[in-house]
Structure 1
Amino acid sequence: MTAKMAGSRKFTAACVQMQGTRSVDRNIEAAVALIRDAAKRGADYVQTPEQTAIMELKRAKLFEAITDEENDKALAAFRKLAAELGIWLHVGSLAIRVSETQAANRAFVIDPQGAIAARYDKIHMFDVDLPNGETYRESATYRPGTAAVVADLPWARLGLSICYDIRFPYLYRALAKAGATVLSAPAAFTKVTGEAHWHLLQRARAVENGAFLISAAQGGMHENGRATYGHSLIVAPWGEVLAEAGTEPEVIVAEIDLAKVEEARGRVPSLTHDRTFQPPVETQERRAS
């Protein structure tokens, strides 16, 4: 561990933006090249997008390509790479087979020795019908997670989430209450929803919790016919965008200064102002009607 990693309250974070394909081997190759580039640019922590190893909408094809965690070659490659580069590598998610009929959309935080420091299974399933005719039923393939997860990095506590989770602010409140000063939401946001809501949701979750928000994304037109929004983001606790990608594969980098968390939470200490309350109930007038 370097002196910077051991004592500093600052670290360099990178997002790897990808344009994933249906080929696990090609995706591993592309991710490895981008991760190496991020490390060369001084990144201590590197995050990849949701579904780093495969972008496949057809259930049968997906299950032909994925395995359990022990035999997943993408995970093995990324563990080896993290150890080689001496970085914290956050794999935004991989499709991991957990039964004959279900997979987990699972994130991995890998330490600089190549050990798995944390796992998180995506909790909220993307089951939507979009106005442009796109339909998604994530729950037909994936088993939802049941637990929020934080991971301790040398500089900060990291709160884990994935993509659609970003629309559920109570998750991030729980992560912040558990000590997270850096939040993450690696994604494969659709182009339609991304254009409307991506920046708004990312900045809101950062500001609400006085935390950094780091989100690597898939971007562009994929060979499965799906268009994703891209625009990987690193957002500061006061809502400033520190780094942003476009729509093509690239690496973005920013310095994370944990003093900014204390500054933001000192200005607006909303994490200390939460109050319990009763949910709305029907009034007598409504019941009478």
Structure 2
Amino acid sequence: MTASHRPALVDGLQPIAGRYDLILCDVWGVLHNGVKAYAPASEALVRFREGGGRVVLVSNAPRPGSAVGTQLDGFGVPRRAYDAIVTSGDLTRLAIEARIDQVVHHIGPPRDMPIYHGLEVRFGPIEEADYVVCSGFDNDERETVEDYRERLEAMRARDLPMVCANPDLVVERGRAIIPCAGTIALAYEEMGGRVFYAGKPHAPIYERAVAVGSELRGEPVRKERVLAIGDAIRTDIAGAAGFGIDSLLVARGIHAEELGAHRGPLISQHVQDWVDLQPVKPKAITDALSWAA
């Protein structure tokens, strides 16, 4: 790696904010941890918007953006911290609408059912389904992929395509690491199954988010003026790299233990050693999202 590829360690968003017109910000792990909101993160986005920037929250939540907004209200994330929300649930819903005449088999908890609200969907067992929507584990605190192996084998036997409504492998809930739908989808893909991933790191969700941001600004936003913020190399950073935009990695997220974020201030060489092992590199890294240290 050359020196020019070394991510900058920045004390908050302020040092780099002026380079960007639009922020695509991850939600879980950046604005909250599934239990409580991170007030400094919201304040950073408020300050960015006060300076004329626009913020679109981009989440792999397997629910519509409106439902995520309601959830953020409950966590205490203020509406003034963002302009719009685009979720993998939104793109999943579009995929369902495109298959509205087909029978769907759903894998996931009841809390994810809003992706179907208002649609005349026909649900059925694997034996009758034309495709599968996977939004997560029925019980993500106790189950593993092995609990779904028999269902995945039955799906594979019928060559059913899967729409993965949340490509995340894991998320942080408080101090616990919880598996997501992406874990099930990856297992199905490794069995030879066909999977459409509705969210990050795949391009469609970025295309939609930038289109929304451009509409908010009243003019197209150039990619060099877009910053993605997130806490996951596999989704947030890889997705930004693949789409051709800069990224800011929040260390105090799912990679916190690897980066030593919970042990004190980030150590530059330790962080660089870790970054060197990653398949994609962020433009910059910060401990936790804030405006300034």
TM-score normalised by the chain length of structure 2 = 0.33
Q: Which has the higher contact order (CA 8 A, sep 6+)?
A: 2
